[in-house]
Structure 1
Amino acid sequence: MNNSDPSEIPRLRAFNFTIFGTSVLVASYFPLFYAGLGFSKSQIGLLYALGPMISIVANLLWSIASDKFRTIKKIMLILLLGEIIMSAVLSLSTSFSVIVLMITIFYFFFYPVFPLSDTLAINAAKRANKSFITIRIFGSIGYAFFALFIGYLLSFLGSSRTMWVTIGIAGIALLITLFMKDQSAPVAKMDMSGIWRILKQKELLWFFGCVFSLAIAVRMNDAFLTVTLNDLGASEDMIGWSQLASSLSEVPIFLLLSIYGEKIKELPLLIFASLMFATRFLLVSLADSALDIILVQTLHSLSFGVFYVTSIRMLTRLVPDEYRATGMALFTIAWSSASGLLSGTFGGMAFEQFGRERFYMIAVGFALLACIGFASRYIIRGPRPTIAPAPAVQEAARKDLPE
């Protein structure tokens, strides 16, 4: 039965489009803001690492708050308002110690916006009998648009105005949120008892280990790509073009895999994606100009695009619905939180000590390690295990069957 509001999907698409503008700023232009304040590569790496560390706690706390108070919309309003306030404070800060404190609080509000947005989108898509990708893809389009728009805007205003641009985009997202339909609970509650059931599955453990290795390489690139471009003489608008090239390239891959991806098994696709990541980072290490790196960014579609859709598909296959939130939480820790903390902390020191070429060769090594892990599992894997649903879930499923 479809009881969705016809305007709900367009509003969520607009919201996804907008919030990825703040993602562009945090990923690409915050490091330039720090560099403009005179911070070293190690300091920039530390500031980047704070985000993944805070996200582990922030995602859990805000998820609990959302469940306790039976609202996602109101939590989202608080998060966006917090982003705006902390951006205003950061715009007035120049001391490294002060920025460490302020950016920590900023991240506490910033990171939970995305999993809660996914929750809204998944629920709305289910009610409207649509694919989640039809909403999520507008995030990629928004990322592409804002990457270029913000690049040109900051090339005119200067990187010192980065936080004011953040305030503007978060403010637009806040206005859109006011008109969105609220939802009372997440798709699936976090089940702490489910962690042990998940971690007993050898294939899942292997999968998370490979994801973690690949994620270290990816987060190293995320943290220092714009710094690399800046060192090669790229302006803010050229950096925008590099982000546009990567984000737009993933759109057709998302669409193709959502239609035809099921015809190819997951592990061969993950092996391919890991090889593409390794190739991408190798080419960045060899690049002589910012233009070369922009061209390399088009490999984002064959690396991240293939990996993201396939990894979510594999996780969905291996983890039943009752443990979806737990499985996604563990995946997020491996892909974003723990890997970002490690790569940001040690990546900054590696970049400073060894230079760009060796830094990216280290990233190549981690991507190849993940590729070997996926390949070895593909070769030696036995029957595909899945976690058996709890008896209560089995009984509920039986009740849903037609008589």
Structure 2
Amino acid sequence: MNNKNIVILALFYAFIYMSTGSFSSYIGVYFTEVGVSNTQIGVLTSIGAVVGMFTQPLWGLAGDRSKSKNRILILCTLLSCITVWLVPAAGSLFWPLLLAMALFSLFQIAINPLSDAITLELSSKGVVRFSTIRTFGSVGYAFISIFAGWLFAVHIHSIFLVTSLIMLGCFLLSLGIPQVAGHQSGMKKVRLVEIFKNKQLTVLYVYTLSLSISMGFLWSFQAIYSRDQGIGMEVIGLGLAIGSVAQFPFMIFFQRFYNRFGIRNILIFSGIIHTLRWCLYAFALTPVTYILTWILHGGTYILFYMCLAEYVNTHVVKELKATGQMLNSVIQLSIGKIIGGMLGGLYAAHFGFQNSFAVLALMGAVSTAGYYWAGKYFSAKAADREPLAQSGKM
């Protein structure tokens, strides 16, 4: 492995997730400070998901059909650095804020899945190891969460300068990432619908969506709800950092877990952890249990993220790998955020945050049980095929 490539990609992933930790985790607090209502915050923090639902498959196809996927990544990092300034320029007016968030999101939402498609392909060629590179993303997230929690408690408006500088770093680093071709850049074109012919992947997407709705609600409102419960911004920042660190063991040892336990067992375990987290938010939120919920974070989002990324990289045809990673993001982030953020915001406005988390706990338990029974059905239909690590059997 080339050490230069490892350093560039490790720093790039650290910067990507630093931008998420500085912007997405705290933008709801900024909106509260400028006088935006909770219902409007739900819409504003979810508009990126709406944009992503329609444009991420197009970004994926653009990457797959470009001479190199890197060209699209470079473009998106540069424009994200610039368009984030549209948000403070919009002041406290809802419609200008909505447009600003939509334009920023248009470019920002393509960065992570494009990066994964590039890095996973480089990993399959032995250039880098994906799980190691992704770990640096969480290191960056942990660092910025602590720093941002301290800084934004004093001056929340600095969120835009911090995010813009981080995205500028992403742009400069993206220039040095090894080139990865778009495999549809020639004559061969493959339709998006080919991905959904894989029934096992489709089942994974349905289960992922059900739990991603709860994560969408969490990212939109956890800081606001926690602060209302008397938890300080410094504790919130510490919790976010701990949540990032809690993901390390699952990323570092992911391949071992994947080979030993398989997708089905890993994701059933994750469903149980999701449910437990929402119960703590609903019925026992204190500064201590708040930290505990972020310790449990290691068993939630990252397990779905890694399982889907690995499955798509292994089992989706090379002409649709970038598109497949974009669909992972659409399912896990975009649609989940739309339902969890927008509809969750409306529900919380009428019934309160505590009741909302209780409903999410119930959803988590039901969807996990449903996935368990679906897995038994598929096991009965396709028993004793190849080992999971090679075939992706549910």
TM-score (norm 2): 0.87
Q: 2:112 maps to which residue?
A: 114
Name the amino acid aligned to 2:249: P
Q: Partners of 2:322 and 2:62 in 1: how far apart?
A: 15
How far 1:67 sits from its partner (Å)?
A: 4.5
Q: Determine if contact 1:232/1:290 at 8 Å carries over to the other structure.
A: no
Residue among 236, 248, 251 paired with 1:239: 236
Q: Does 1:227 align with 2:224?
A: yes
Q: Determine if contact 1:192/1:326 at 8 Å carries over to the other structure.
A: no
Q: 2:12 maps to which residue?
A: 15
Q: Partners of 2:149 and 2:256 in 1: how far apart?
A: 33
Q: Determine if contact 1:188/1:324 at 8 Å carries over to the other structure.
A: no
Q: 1:60 maps to which residue?
A: 57
Q: Determine if contact 2:117/2:321 at 8 Å carries over to the other structure.
A: no
Deviates more, 1:259-268 or 1:161-170: 259-268
Name the amino acid aligned to 1:278: T
How far 1:325 sits from its partner (Å)?
A: 4.3
User: What number of residue pairs does the alignment pair up?
Assistant: 380
How far 1:69 sits from its partner (Å)?
A: 4.5
Residue among 148, 151, 160 paired with 2:149: 151
Deviates more, 1:39-48 or 1:119-128: 119-128
How far 1:315 sits from its partner (Å)?
A: 5.0
Deviations 1:21-45 (A, max 9, x none): 1111332111111111111111011
Q: Does 1:281 align with 2:282?
A: no
Residue among 76, 84, 87 paired with 1:87: 84
- 3-state SS in 1 of match to 2:231: coil
Deviations 1:172-191 (A, max 9, x none): 22232233334342699996
Task: Give the 3 Å change call, closer, same or farther, for CA 135–126 of structure 1 in structure 2.
Answer: same
Q: Determine if contact 1:249/1:298 at 8 Å carries over to the other structure.
A: yes
How far 1:243 sits from its partner (Å)?
A: 0.6
Deviations 1:159-178 (A, max 9, x none): 12211111121122223223
- 3-state SS in 2 of match to 1:181: coil
Name the amino acid aligned to 1:277: H
Q: Determine if contact 2:309/2:328 at 8 Å carries over to the other structure.
A: no
Name the amino acid aligned to 1:121: T
Q: Partners of 2:299 and 2:125 in 1: how far apart?
A: 31
Deviations 1:40-59 (A, max 9, x none): 11101101211111113332
Residue among 163, 173, 178 paired with 1:176: 173
Q: Partners of 1:215 and 1:354 in 2: how far apart?
A: 21
Q: Which runs of 5+ in 2 are unaligned?
A: 384-394
- 3-state SS in 1 of match to 2:352: helix
* Higher Cα radius of gyration: 1
Q: Which runs of 5+ in 1 are unaligned?
A: 386-403
- 3-state SS in 2 of match to 1:38: coil
- 3-state SS in 2 of match to 1:234: coil
- 3-state SS in 1 of match to 2:84: helix
How far 1:7 sits from its partner (Å)?
A: 1.0
Q: 1:349 maps to which residue?
A: 346
Name the amino acid aligned to 1:113: I
Q: Does 1:215 align with 2:194?
A: no
Q: 1:264 maps to which residue?
A: 261
Name the amino acid aligned to 1:14: L
Q: Determine if contact 2:47/2:102 at 8 Å carries over to the other structure.
A: yes
Q: Partners of 1:151 and 1:166 in 2: how far apart?
A: 14
Root-mean-square deviation (CA, aligned residues, Å) is 2.6
Deviates more, 1:170-179 or 1:100-109: 170-179
Q: Partners of 1:24 and 1:172 in 2: how far apart?
A: 15
Q: 1:134 maps to which residue?
A: 132
Q: Partners of 1:344 and 1:164 in 2: how far apart?
A: 25
Residue among 96, 99, 105 paired with 1:98: 96
TM-score (norm 1): 0.86
How far 1:232 sits from its partner (Å)?
A: 2.2
Residue among 135, 158, 161 paired with 1:161: 158
- 3-state SS in 2 of match to 1:265: helix
How far 1:202 sits from its partner (Å)?
A: 4.1
Task: Give the 3 Å change call, closer, same or farther, for CA 366–315 of structure 1 in structure 2.
Answer: farther
Q: Partners of 2:3 and 2:311 in 1: how far apart?
A: 31
Name the amino acid aligned to 1:57: F
User: Matched residues, percent identical?
Assistant: 23
Deviates more, 1:133-142 or 1:224-233: 224-233
How far 1:323 sits from its partner (Å)?
A: 5.0
Name the amino acid aligned to 1:97: W
Q: Partners of 2:61 and 2:192 in 1: how far apart?
A: 16
